[in-house]
Amino acid sequence: MGNFLEIITHDNGQKQATEPCLEPCSIERGMRLLGGKWKGSILWHLKEHPVRFNDLARQIGGASKKMLSQRLQEMEEEGLVKREVVSDRPIAVTYEITEFGKSALGFLEELKNWVEKHQL
């Protein structure tokens, strides 16, 4: 019976974790990067080719434009996505997935498969 739980008991009976996950561990941090509402979906929609803002909004019907532009800004700062002004006059902007963003696709695909396999 080892000390599986990593909990020690002091002389006064007080208990303490030896390795408390004090602040967000890897999984938590990852979820906060990719787990935000719509972020996965956005990345997924960009995986083939750059997409323009309003086209993205049309494709992700459930999300408002405000949401989308917020998320896209965050994702640009996080390096997941790249914003590119293609032309002004008739202003045109595209959002493109970065190499870093692409590195997350495998994992998103696993999530997708998992969900579909279990019919969720």
Partner DNA sequence: TTAACTGGTTACCAAAAGTATACTGGTTGA
Partner DNA sequence: TCAACCAGTATACTTTTGGTAACCAGTTAA
For residue 69, which of 54, 88, 50 has the smallest C-alpha distance? 54
Is 90 among the residues that bind its own copies (CB under 8 A)?
no
In the complex, minimum distance from the CB of residue 69 to DNA, in angstroms, rounded to a whole number: 4
Using CA of residue 45, residue 67, residue 70, residue 52, what is the dihedral sign? positive
In angstroms, the CA 76 to CA 53 distance is 13
Kindly state whether residue 92 participates in binding DNA, applying the rule CB under 7 A: yes
Strand (E) positions, 42-89?
A: 51-52, 81-87
Judged by CB under 7 A, the chain residues 11 through 30 that form the site for DNA are 12-15
Q: List the single partner that 81 binds among DNA, its own copies, none, CB under 5 to 8 Å by kind.
A: none
2 contributes a contact to its own copies by CB under 8 A: no
Asked if 81 interacts with its own copies (CB under 8 A), we say no
Binding pattern for the stretch 20-59 against its own copies, x by CB under 8 A and - elsewhere = xxxxxxxxxxxx-xxx-xxxxx--xx--xx-xx-xx--xx
Give yes or no for residue 116 binding its own copies (CB under 8 A).
yes
Q: Is 17 in the site for its own copies (CB under 8 A)?
A: yes
60 binds DNA (CB under 7 A): no
Beta bridge partners of 87: 92
Of 67-75, 85-93, 109-117, which part binds its own copies (CB under 8 A)? 109-117
| Cα-Cα-Cα-Cα dihedral sign, residues 39, 26, 83, 100 | negative
Helix axes 65-77, 39-46, angle to 10 degrees: 80
